[in-house]
Structure 1
Amino acid sequence: MGLARLTEAEWLQPQPDLAARRRGFADWPEGVELTREAEAPGRELAAMLGVQGALPEAALAAHEDMCLLTKAPGDDQYRLIGAAVAWPSDWHPKDKIGLPLRALHAPIAGYEEHLASGVDRFMETLKPGAIFGRCNWFIAATGERRWLETRPALEAFAHVTDENAGETLFVRSERQTLRRLPETGAILFTIGIYVEPLAALSGGNTAMLALAASDLLKGEGDRRGAPAYAESLIQFARKRNAE
């Protein structure tokens, strides 16, 4: 899972752009999906952040999108019971709400074979007070924080060339955290979105990203659209590091 232990001070971005959050949710109300089970943990979370309300208000008060998961008696997996997502990475909460973890991650190549058991074990043993974080990344054809691609990858990246890749490819990083709420026992999953054009990265980070894109072509590349952009990204990195 690539998790690292975080302190309370490292949990959420300390200076969120609250106006951008308000616009994000106002422009895309579909980003909020709630079940009845989300009410109590949502209110607990809002109180932790010092705001009135529940999950939607908590997510409005932070840079991060927020999801709640619980495991009901008799279930063998945690389920998504609430989502407040202004800036999704190509997913719709309505399609995920109520699903268990393994179904949520079904599109990810190798998840069931290599990660599912470890994730289930981590969720079971996560203690209140402990905070863990990890990062994920994507390459998008837009610099917008909300990424909902409807076109095939070859069409979305059709304008990208080796020469313009620095300005037309956007690196989308997700800073994710997990913690258990102490009163309700629900697990909070946060997703902080950061987007920059490829050219904004350092030479070293560009080189590492090119290597990762090469690896994607051998694994999960089709789901992430890598065949449509990887070669241009790799060539951009080679030219940059040759300068």
Structure 2
Amino acid sequence: MTDKQDLRTPYDGSAPPFAIGLAQLDPDTWLDIDNDLQAYLEEKRRLTRERYEDIFVAEPDTEGAQREVHDLVRTHLGNRFRSSDTAGMRLRTPDGGALPMLHQAALHLQEDLVLMRKGEAGWRLAAASVCFPSSWNLREKFSRPMHEIHGPVPGFGEGTRNAGLIERMFDNLRVDIPVVRWNWSLYGDAKLFHQHPHETGEGRFGPGTVARNVHLRLERQTLRKLPESGDIIFTIRTYIDPLEALETHPEGARLASAISDQVRALKPAERAYKGLATEQDRLLARLAMIGQPNPE
């Protein structure tokens, strides 16, 4: 969905999979808008009409923080921000009410928005507008602390070193210094709404001995502490690029090799979590073809 020469490439080998890898972020680059904006917004509107209960959750005392996020988004976008009415988005909740402020803000963005709040059990998911989940169910994560949210991720469950690191990072986040990290996976289609876990079994990437239907699914994740509520807004910007985009990229062969190296280095539990337990060989065969001369 991005220009072939402007691919985001967090799979270039600079950071291993399942690494936290936070970096400071210039507040001016907090949100990312590109030429695919309208397609993303149309999908968000469709999901709001058809699957609202799957894409929005909120605890009852989060209205103030939701408005804080809404105002922050509006200020950040400036003239690009348009009200729901003027943007042609006269949408309502299933019971006919006004959409919550957090979801209204999300309907102007390609990002999903997740509000995190500190409680006795740690930081928890207190409200969220998530239209583009990457193999997870929002309602299953609602009001749960991070160590439970990350429970299925190898090495990130309760009591692990990574779980402790994430809690401390959230605790120490400063209002004036947002942070960013990247995540990436390999999917068998280009759908944005992916609520269910990775498909299992042979054929996930199409038939044959070589994987064909392969898409790079990337997530640009940012964390920003809110000055009034003290909550944290977690944004998730999803990008989807067909693996074929590497074939015309100036560094396509090197990038394909970097992906191969990282796939080979995955531990069994990590490989299963990424949905590659039975598809690794076919995927590696496809990656090896990138950068090779076509047979005459």
TM-score over 0.5 (shorter chain): yes
2:116 corresponds to 1:69: yes
Taking a change above 3 Å as real, the CA distance of residues 25 and 37 of structure 1, as seen in their structure-2 partners, is farther
Cα deviation for residue 150 of structure 1 reads 6.2
Deviations 1:100-134 (A, max 9, x none): 01000000111132301110110111111211111
In 1, distance between residues paired with 2:197 and 2:223? 29
Structure 2: 5+ residue stretches without partners? 1-19, 75-80, 84-99, 247-251
Q: Which residue of 2 aligns with 1:11?
A: 30
Q: Which residue of 1 aligns with 2:17?
A: none
Q: Which residue of 2 aligns with 1:97?
A: 142
Q: Which residue of 1 aligns with 2:289?
A: 239
Cα deviation for residue 149 of structure 1 reads 3.6
Aligned pair count reads 239
Cα deviation for residue 151 of structure 1 reads 7.3
More helix as a share of residues: 1
Q: Which residue of 2 aligns with 1:134?
A: 181
Cα deviation for residue 19 of structure 1 reads 5.2
Seq. identity, %: 26
**TM-score normalized by the length of structure 2:** 0.75
Q: Which residue of 1 aligns with 2:70?
A: 46
In 1, distance between residues paired with 2:168 and 2:122? 10
RMSD of aligned Cα (Å): 2.0
**TM-score normalized by the length of structure 1:** 0.90
Cα deviation for residue 2 of structure 1 reads 0.3
Structure 1: 5+ residue stretches without partners? none
Deviations 1:136-176 (A, max 9, x none): 1111111111123467411561624444x3x4011110110
Q: Which residue of 2 aligns with 1:153?
A: 200
Amino acid across the alignment from 1:35? E
RCO comparison, higher one (Cα < 8 Å, 6+): 2
Q: Which residue of 1 aligns with 2:155?
A: 110
2:106 corresponds to 1:59: yes
SS at match of 2:194: coil
In 1, distance between residues paired with 2:240 and 2:202? 21
Q: Which moved more, 1:198-207 or 1:117-126?
A: 198-207
Q: Which residue of 1 aligns with 2:59?
A: 35
Contact 1:25 1:86 in 2 (8 A): no
2:275 corresponds to 1:225: yes
Of 228, 232, 252, 1:187 maps to 232
Contact 1:80 1:98 in 2 (8 A): yes
Q: Which has the larger radius of gyration?
A: 2
Q: Which moved more, 1:22-31 or 1:146-155?
A: 146-155
In 2, distance between residues paired with 1:153 and 1:230? 12
